[in-house]
Amino acid sequence: MRIAPTHPHVVIVGAGFGGLATARALRHVDVSVTLVDRNNYHLFQPLLYQVASGLLDPSAIASPVRTIMRRARNVDVIRAELMSVDLEHRHVDTSAVGLDYDYLVLASGSVTDYFGNANARQWSTGLKHLGDALTLRSRLLGCFETASLTVDAVTRRRLLTFAVVGGGPTGVEYSGAVAELIRHVLPKDYRRIDFAEVSVVLVEAGDRVLASFAPRLGRLAARSLERKGVRIILGQSVREVDEHGLVLQNGERVETNTVVWTAGVHAAVPLDLGDDATARGGRVKVTSQLHLPGHPEVFVIGDAAAITQDGAVLPMVAPVAIQGGKYVAREIAARINGAEVAAFRYHDKGTMATVGRGAAVAEIGPLRINGLIGWFIWVFIHLLYLVGFRSRLLALWSWAWNYFFWDRPVRLIVTADGDADPQETRGDGAG
Amino acid sequence: MRIAPTHPHVVIVGAGFGGLATARALRHVDVSVTLVDRNNYHLFQPLLYQVASGLLDPSAIASPVRTIMRRARNVDVIRAELMSVDLEHRHVDTSAVGLDYDYLVLASGSVTDYFGNANARQWSTGLKHLGDALTLRSRLLGCFETASLTVDAVTRRRLLTFAVVGGGPTGVEYSGAVAELIRHVLPKDYRRIDFAEVSVVLVEAGDRVLASFAPRLGRLAARSLERKGVRIILGQSVREVDEHGLVLQNGERVETNTVVWTAGVHAAVPLDLGDDATARGGRVKVTSQLHLPGHPEVFVIGDAAAITQDGAVLPMVAPVAIQGGKYVAREIAARINGAEVAAFRYHDKGTMATVGRGAAVAEIGPLRINGLIGWFIWVFIHLLYLVGFRSRLLALWSWAWNYFFWDRPVRLIVTADGDADPQETRGDGAG
């Protein structure tokens, strides 16, 4: 099937922050829009770690794309995977249909980067997809189930050690959430387990966590994690990962059955443009109007794009994608009307990260905020950006529940294909 | 590992309604209890169809067993599968540990029965486990996604036909929920689809639906389903199921990619007691004190047991399991104290089934109630029996949301192993 509408046809690949912002902003523009995503939902990735740590249900952070786009009568949604782009003939192939385009917006995001480390890919789990979060939730709880029946001390400690690789916001937020789960919730459930044997290890190759924040906030976050019992290893990259643990650059071995890889991402771009056309992390270099050099009809936004501003490449964060999406929609509308739009300029409204229940660090302009006030700001901003009234209420409700009852309600070990296999996380000392 | 406590040791297999009731009632009895289940959660099965139809999140109907049992200090929870029972040596083997018992309570429930029909097993989905419900949710939405891109009319109609086999409460409730999803929610999402092509077919081998209810209520339920657009086929069993449809006893073929099998269940009992010891559906015949004949220390309750009362075998419903569990706990406590307990007697408090948003049928003693009042009673009773304050609030909130907004918020296509594979539900006419 080939879809070729009569209006100028805008194909948007990816229903993340960038793609959604573009499609929404094109609602009242005289174009036909086709929004393609491999999933039928938009995922609010910044809160993915809360699903992975049993705080939120998936439906609090994932909303069906079709529902979000219901009122946009000129937007058609297709669940399919992008296969290839033919720049010359202005055509994309997806797993379901072929699409001719007048404008193409690549908002295809990024995927976990294992830096070519095949065993890291095999033996660790990323934290980018909803499936990753559900897998991690089941894995972590499964390790506790198995450990509670394991006599051999070495096997038990290995089951009860959780390693997080990467000290960026995802690694810091996830390890903080896991540490709180371990301190406040699980001891009530696993009375047989000696919690002195449980440990969370955060490995960061650089010399501090949250390197993108002001040094003081990074130090505060590190201290907060350490108070929760997280062991932070700085200045060490991971040399190897295997079934039973990981090896650091200095040769130290950490025995663990659970390695969460948040050390890096690279752009997900189904284009072979050559090395010169891409920057660090495979991000596509774009002009100041966010299109491919030589292809004014092909825009790249969000994590997939390397946008240079004031000599630096903009970070892979939601606000860059959202502002990029809105800009591209304006740009397309202007071109149809024969008007012009000034170059894209990103306005940094601040960055933030939670470090656990009731504590966050935030940088908003010249302000450096932490603690409970930072957390309230964090809650407010995230509620603002969550898609849909119901998701906001659900998330607020879950956060309040966690805040007042110190509880993580969604502790289910489940897969879509059938019920949990009790064998899957068995350590070899169990039985 | 072998666990052998000093107190009388009660091993309970299954954390469904029966097993939980037993464990809870044994809380203040001087015994050690080990509660074994293959999942780490108790599943409120009567609401499973609401997860399958995108109304409830899994965490509204599944609660971690350990959390439910937190205050029961004499109860140990083990996530494992029962492998075998050695009646002579009073020992059970599970996938994780071996357990010696003084008392054994088999509350192992039932599984979907395909009546030996291998192709039905291969090409249809049951509705007994949380995994089934999540699979069905993804399957149904995936069919709509694929159909919206399918040109071939035969393939498209096949994708848009949903067959439910079995007109008991599960089949009636699920087909009603799907019909409402199709009428009220999905048309807003799938504007390309002609909803005249969508159909739900309910196949029942007997001569009416809800055979366990009064005939008038069965007729009311059938009329309600038909008004929602469900085609009800009575007096026909299913002869064959294949990749593209099913064949009825009379030779009629229904073309469909989605067959939901709710036609029957049989007891899940890991004991080979011979044909004489089991009744219809593989249920274990028990004495009036709910134990195996000749084995007063082995109790069987819930769906796994065939309890004869007033000449009839009690039905496979939650109240029978719950009352059985409480009785067995009393029986064990009495035996330890050298006392006696009268024979088990089930008190039928009524049965009910929802037939959609704002409508239910209920039989309570001599009362036959239907419509909105029936639905309010249904909501009240289900809130009462849902485990945990949070689940109750979540379910109430979702029902209110559905009632007022005609919406099913949890329309996510997702698996735990990674993100949705856009190919998995592709009809052969797509592309």
- Using one digit for the tens of pLDDT, what is the confidence trace for B27-84? 999 999 999 999 999 999 989 999 999 888 888 899 899 989 988 999 999 999 999 9
**Would the CB atoms of B67 and A416 count as touching at under 8 Å?**
no
In a domain, A328, yes or no: yes
In 3-state terms, what secondary structure has residue A90? coil
Summarize pLDDT for A183-230 with one digit per residue, the tens. Answer: 988 999 999 899 999 999 999 999 999 998 888 889 989 999 999 999
Best B140, B185, B387, B419 member to test A by mutation, with max A CBs in 10 Å, is B419
In a domain, A321, yes or no: yes
CA distance A36 to A18: 13
B173 in active site: yes
pLDDT of amino acid A177: 92
Decide the pairing of beta strands B91-94 and B98-100.
antiparallel
**In the structure encoding, which two tokens stand for residue A167, read together?**
């000290």
Name residue A302's amino acid. Answer: G
The residue in chain B having the minimum alpha-carbon distance to the alpha carbon of residue A58 is: B57
Please answer whether residues B26 and B33 qualify as being in contact, where contact means their C-beta atoms are separated by less than 8 angstroms: yes
Tokens 């189904």: give the residue. Answer: A270
Total structural domains in chain B?
2
Distance to chain A for B400, nearest Cα, Å: 12
Residue A124: partners with Cβ closer than 8 Å, 6 or more residues away:
A114, A165, A241, A259, A260, A261
Instruction: Dihedral sign for Cα A18, A23, A27, A31, please.
Output: positive
Is the same domain home to B204 and B257? yes
Q: Which of B45, B22, B20 is nearest to B112 (CA)?
A: B45
Residue range B324-348: average pLDDT?
95
Q: What angle do CA A111, A115, A120 make, to 5 degrees?
A: 90
Measure CB to CB from residue A189 to each of B64, B78, B423 and give the nearest one: B64
Is the same domain home to B259 and B270? no
One-letter-per-residue 3-state SS of B136-153: HHHHHHHHHHHHCCECCH
Q: Is B423 on the interface with A (CB under 8 A)?
A: yes
Domain stops at, among B336, B367, B387: B336
Looking at the predicted structure, is the pLDDT value of residue B20 above 70? yes
In a domain, B256, yes or no: yes
In a domain, B136, yes or no: yes
Q: Which of residues 300-339 of A touch B (CB under 8 A)?
A: none
Q: Which of A324, A418, A169 is nearest to B126 (CA)?
A: A418
Is the same domain home to B123 and B176? yes
Is the same domain home to B237 and B280? no
Measure CB to CB from residue A41 to each of B38, B412, B422 and give the nearest one: B412
Per-residue confidence in pLDDT tens, chain A, 431 aa: 555 556 899 999 999 999 999 999 999 999 999 999 999 999 999 899 999 998 888 888 998 999 899 889 999 999 999 999 999 999 999 999 999 999 999 999 999 999 989 999 999 999 999 999 999 999 999 999 999 999 999 999 999 999 999 999 999 999 999 999 999 889 999 998 999 999 999 999 999 999 988 888 899 899 999 999 999 999 999 999 999 999 999 999 999 999 999 999 999 988 888 778 899 999 999 999 999 999 999 999 999 999 999 999 999 999 999 999 999 999 999 999 999 899 999 998 888 888 777 778 888 888 888 888 888 888 888 877 777 767 777 777 777 777 776 667 677 776 544 344 333 333 332 22
Q: Which domain does B167 fall in, by range?
A: 118-263+357-405
pTM of the predicted structure, to 2 decimals: 0.88
**Would the CB atoms of A96 and B431 count as touching at under 8 Å?**
yes
Least confident of A266-280, B316-330, B413-427: B413-427
Question: What residues are paired with B98 via a beta bridge?
Answer: B2, B93
One-letter-per-residue 3-state SS of B318-369: HHHHHHHHHHHHHHHHHHHCCCCCCCCCCCCCCEEEEEECCEEEEEECCEEE
Measure CB to CB from residue A414 to each of B78, B95, B416 and give the nearest one: B416
Measure CB to CB from residue A431 to each of B1, B131, B430 and give the nearest one: B1
DSSP-assigned states of every residue in B176-241: HHHHHIIIIIHHHH-TTS-GGG-EEEEEESSSSSSTTS-HHHHHHHHHHHHHTTEEEEES--EEEE
Helices (runs of H) and strands (runs of E) counted in chain B: 13, 28
Is the same domain home to B192 and B151? yes
Looking at the predicted structure, is the pLDDT value of residue B427 above 70? no
From chain B, the residues in CB contact with A64 under 8 A are 189, 411-412
Is the same domain home to A298 and A253? no
Question: What residues are paired with B320 via a beta bridge?
Answer: none
pLDDT of amino acid A391: 73
Look at chain B and count its residues.
Answer: 431
Name residue A427's amino acid. Answer: G
**Would the CB atoms of B418 and A97 count as touching at under 8 Å?**
no
Q: Is A134 on the interface with B (CB under 8 A)?
A: yes
Name residue B237's amino acid. Answer: S
Is the same domain home to A20 and A153? no
In 3-state terms, what secondary structure has residue B100? strand
The CATH number given to whatever domain includes residue B101 is 3.50.50.60
Question: What residues are paired with A313 via a beta bridge?
Answer: A308
Q: Which of residues 337-356 of A touch B (CB under 8 A)?
A: none
**Would the CB atoms of A401 and B411 count as touching at under 8 Å?**
no
The residue in chain A having the minimum alpha-carbon distance to the alpha carbon of residue B417 is: A131
Count chain A–chain B contacts defined by CB atoms under 8 A.
Answer: 173
Mean pLDDT of chain B: 89
Is the same domain home to B257 and B277? no
Is the same domain home to B270 and B259? no
**Would the CB atoms of A78 and B417 count as touching at under 8 Å?**
no
The residue in chain A having the minimum alpha-carbon distance to the alpha carbon of residue B390 is: A409
pLDDT of amino acid B256: 98
**In the structure encoding, which two tokens stand for residue B241, read together?**
């199921």
In a domain, B206, yes or no: yes
Please answer whether residues B96 and A149 qualify as being in contact, where contact means their C-beta atoms are separated by less than 8 angstroms: yes
The CATH number given to whatever domain includes residue A150 is 3.50.50.100
From chain B, the residues in CB contact with A96 under 8 A are 146, 149, 422, 426, 430-431
Is the same domain home to A27 and A94? yes
Q: How far is CA B215 from CA A323, B40, B208, B310, B361, in A?
A: 62, 39, 8, 21, 11
Residue B409: partners with Cβ closer than 8 Å, 6 or more residues away:
A59, A390, B54, B55, B398, B401
Is the same domain home to B140 and B254? yes
In a domain, A18, yes or no: yes
Looking at the predicted structure, is the pLDDT value of residue B152 above 90? yes
Looking at the predicted structure, is the pLDDT value of residue B198 above 50? yes
pLDDT of amino acid B273: 81
pLDDT of amino acid A361: 83
In a domain, A236, yes or no: yes
Tokens 């771009």: give the residue. Answer: A269
CA distance A158 to A257: 6
Q: Beta-strand (E) ranges in B46-175?
A: 62-64, 75-79, 82-86, 91-94, 98-100, 103-106, 110-112, 161-165
In a domain, A202, yes or no: yes
| Sheet with B367-369: strands ordered across | B351-356, B359-364, B367-369
Is the same domain home to A87 and A131? no
Helices (runs of H) and strands (runs of E) counted in chain A: 13, 28
Q: How far is CA B309 from CA B273, B294, B297, in A?
A: 22, 20, 21
Quick one: which H or E segment has residue B265? strand B265-267
CA distance B422 to B429: 15
Residue B300: partners with Cβ closer than 8 Å, 6 or more residues away:
B105, B106, B107, B269, B284, B286, B290, B291, B292
Please answer whether residues B111 and B262 qualify as being in contact, where contact means their C-beta atoms are separated by less than 8 angstroms: no
What angle in degrees, to the nearest 10, is found between the helix axes of A17-25 and A318-336?
A: 30
The residue in chain A having the minimum alpha-carbon distance to the alpha carbon of residue B397 is: A394
One-letter-per-residue 3-state SS of A373-388: HHHHHHHHHHHHHCCC
Question: What residues are paired with B356 via a beta bridge?
Answer: B359
